[in-house]
Amino acid sequence: MKVARILVDEPLHLEKSWCWREDWIHGFDSVYALLSKFAMLNALNASEIAQIFIRRDCGKKTAIVRSPAVDLRHSAMFDLAQMARLLRLQTQHIQQAFLPEQLANGRRRFRDMLCWCPQCARTGFHSPAFQLELIRSCPVHGNPIRTCCQACGASIPYQLQAAVFAQPFRCPACHADFAPALRDPKERLLAALPPMTSWISDLAALCAFEDRTLPTRQDINRQRIRAGLGPVVFASSNWQRSAADYPAFIDSVWRALGEQQWTSRPSGARPVLTVETKGPSELPIRCKSQRKLVLLPAIVRNKVAASATKKAWDERLRAGYLVYGAVRRYLWRHVLRDHRCCITSAGYCLDWRLEGVSTATICPVAEAFLRWRMHWEGNGTPSSLLAPQQAQPWGLARWMSAHAPICPSCWTRGAEQWVSNHVLGRHAIATLCSFMEIALANQQGGRIAWHSATVSARHLPYWAITGRDTMIAPVKLFSECGRVPILLALIVKLPMTIEHKQRHQDALQGIRDTAMG
């Protein structure tokens, strides 16, 4: 007789798992990008994300899950080990997602509102470096960093918040989509981005140097103010350049001023400085009897173009345009003279708006100069650049609002304009160097992406100003040597020959045939 057996059907206990795609990782992703992609793949809201990733021992988990509002600049509330396990990343990558904690005074240096590059966001990439106040342009594409929605102008809190994560990579106010590639079912892989190998170490080095030397700089400036010499104002550090350049420049300026209190010894080679001094400003005198301004006889007034278009601009913009026009004429007559025919033929042939368009390559010098003018004049049609200026130069206006030097309050308007003009001229030549490098790279790749805002800042020179705008303490401008030798070295690589000119004309004809057909 067989022994009866009783079989108990027990359900399988499967470990709870979550969806994740390793091909959605770019490298150097922010915690906002990581949590947004995790929420999209698993259809989670902010409370559910908090339930998974907020630490149990933080003492606030219940309140956070009920009403999430967690600052994404800091990792104190997050379970980093849990994040590394579910996102299949190393703990080091998770720590890099909270970049403010790796930099000195990170909370002070990072914005509390979401900042992003539109071109990076389309592929689902967001870097924690975009939140840094020091960074104003994308390190990959060169686009200006956005701080508000382009559609409605609303700002987005950089927090784990219900409204922000209801639809990740969208504006909570108007629901504008920042990352269409994430929601496209045909998109199998997100576009890869070029690696940024040393940007974290360079940022950390710059921030550490500024924090270490800030007390000494403040003490020196206080002593100079008491002595009637005026403070020294330095340009902001440029993270796209080598981290050793900024300390070396500041050390050179202090040594040129003979400040013994400055004891920092940078490791980099000290740059060659150019020093320019402005004479005292000629102030208008008010005549009490006639109640009108009487100018001193030594004053020489700048003559500004009196066209109807330029009369509508403000005084600073008109003065800045005179400087830009002088730089443009100098480049045209002395630096680009061998390639004038290439530039002129390209300008006349390309008579439609090229902003955002991709074409075949033409003469790199013509490409660089046209894109340089598009950048500063805010005009996306090359043929319009050959005609008189008909609209406000938006690129120049943008530079004056974002990059013009901020001078001490005791200076006159003339001194401020003098400093702004000198810095503007140097920046204009530096941007042409960047566009020239981009054009040479495009020649190797065979295509041109006509984006006037895509320009690197790694050639921008550092500057420093001091003085009180008086006879005893005149305004002084310290700057690195000009970038004209660099520009000439790039142009020398492209000798003007009959073959070069013929290739340029054939390329223009091909571009025009493609556009017309």
> Which of these, 294, 272, 270, lies nearest to 284 by C-alpha position?
294
> Which of these, 502, 469, 505, lies nearest to 230 by C-alpha position?
469
Q: Is the pLDDT score of 199 beyond 80?
A: no
pLDDT of residue 365: 94
Other beta carbons within 10 Å of 11: 5
- Percent of the chain whose predicted confidence (pLDDT) is above 70: 84
Other beta carbons within 10 Å of 470: 14
**pLDDT (tens digit per residue) in 220-235:** 999 988 888 889 999 8
With beta carbons less than 8 A apart as the criterion, state whether 327 and 425 touch: yes
Q: What is the dihedral of CA 119, 123, 125, 131, to 10 degrees?
A: 30
**pLDDT (tens digit per residue) in 139-158:** 767 677 888 888 888 899 99
With beta carbons less than 8 A apart as the criterion, state whether 207 and 109 touch: yes
Which residues fall within 8 angstroms of residue 284, CB to CB, at 6 or more apart? Answer: 293, 294, 295, 296
Separate counts of helices (H) and strands (E) for the chain: 19, 10
Strand segments, DSSP code E, in 15-110 are 69-71
**pLDDT (tens digit per residue) in 274-308:** 888 887 654 443 434 443 443 333 334 344 444 67
Question: Which two three-digit tokens encode residue 250?
Answer: 């500041």
- What's the whole-number average pLDDT of the chain? 82
CA distance 354 to 382: 8
Strand segments, DSSP code E, in 347-393 are 358-360
CA distance 297 to 320: 25
CA distance 349 to 347: 6
Higher pLDDT, 215 or 285: 215
**Contacts within 8 Å (CB) and 24+ apart, 35-43:** 35/72, 35/160, 35/165, 35/168, 36/124, 36/126, 36/165, 36/168, 36/169, 37/124, 37/168, 37/182, 38/86, 38/87, 39/165, 39/168, 40/168, 40/182, 40/183, 42/18
Q: Of 172-186, 408-422, 427-441, which range is least confident?
A: 172-186
pLDDT of residue 29: 85
Higher pLDDT, 225 or 458: 225
Q: Of 185-189, 291-295, 417-421, which range is least confident?
A: 291-295
- List b or e across 390-429, with b for residues whose CB sees 16 or more CB atoms inside 10 angstroms: eebbebbbebbeebbbebbeebeebbbbbbbbbbbbbbbb
pLDDT of residue 313: 83
Task: Read off the amino acid at residue 37.
Answer: K
For residues 258-262, give the mean pLDDT. Answer: 81
CA distance 178 to 117: 10
With beta carbons less than 8 A apart as the criterion, state whether 320 and 395 touch: no
